[in-house]
Amino acid sequence: MGERGRNPPLDLGGVTVWQGWLDTPAQAALVAELRALARAAPFFRPVTPRGQPMSVRMTAAGRYGWVSDRRGYRYERRHPSGAEWPPIPSAVLAIWHEVTGLSRTPDCCLVNFYGEGARMGLHQDRDEADFSWPVVSVSLGDDGLFRVGGTVRGGPTRSLWLRSGDVAVLGGPARLAFHGVDRSRFRSGPRLPEGGRINLTLRVVD
């Protein structure tokens, strides 16, 4: 699955980045599964607790989905439509188990879609109960400029263009690192002909 045997991982401020983890056929198969997932749980545009619409659209799979609205940031067991979240695709679970070595499965696979001009500001993933579990991120589609800082806001940051098929792991001291996506190169990736970037984020919630 990919060229990981030839590409040792990169250390980006404590975040481990596996470039080219998914090869072209694996990426195409995963995109097809995500299209089916989005039919069962359509993408929606969340708003911040202050009522500002986010530039990304999102959906999720698993026991929980992460949502944001005027009530705050949190995990919910159902899609905003009221339907249960679909199961996490087996190919996504395989990535989690391979890069983490864990037998425990994630509770949530957050699916973010970055259209033209979408971004994600620096933030920490801290809505989970136990920060000892890692967070795994999978990139598909357009290139995204990923930025990582320390565990305190305002410190120095490092950046790397994540490409389709790359996998990043935030664990250990970097589990609570501030991170975000400054911008994407629209229609730079081969997997989504209409353009856009998909980011999968796998998390243990409780």
Q: Answer whether residue 2 is part of any domain.
A: no
Contact in structure between 116 and 62 (CB atoms under 8 Å): no
- Could you give the number of structural domains in the chain? 1
Domain, as residue range, for 190: 10-203
Question: In the predicted model, what is the mean pLDDT of residues 31-50?
Answer: 97
Q: Does residue 5 fall inside a structural domain?
A: no
Range 144-165 average pLDDT: 97
- Does some domain include residue 166? yes
Distance CA 103, CA 113 (A): 28
Q: What pLDDT, on the 0 to 100 scale, is given for residue 110?
A: 98
pLDDT at 7: 78
Dist CA 164 CA 76 (whole Å): 28
Per the domain annotation, does 82 fall within a domain? yes
> Which pLDDT tens digit goes with each residue over 74-133?
999 999 999 999 999 999 999 999 999 999 999 999 999 999 999 999 999 999 999 999
Residue 106 lies in a domain: yes
CA-based torsion, 127, 139, 183, 160: positive or negative? positive
**Burial readout 36-51 (b: 16 or more C-beta within 10 A, e: otherwise):** ebbeebeeeebeeeee
pLDDT of 6 reads 55
Is position 198 within any domain?
Answer: yes
Please report whether residue 155 resides in a domain: yes
Average pLDDT over residues 20-49: 97
Q: What pLDDT, in 10s, does the model give residues 53-76?
A: 999 999 999 999 999 999 999 999
Pick from 80, 27, 82: nearest CA to 58:
80
What was the pLDDT predicted at 193?
85
| pTM, 2 dp | 0.95
Please report, for the domain that includes residue 90, its CATH number. Answer: 2.60.120.590
Considering the domain boundaries, does residue 4 fall inside one?
no
Predicted confidence (pLDDT) at residue 3 exceeds the cutoff of 50 = no
User: What is the C-alpha radius of gyration for the chain, rounded to an integer number of angstroms?
Assistant: 16
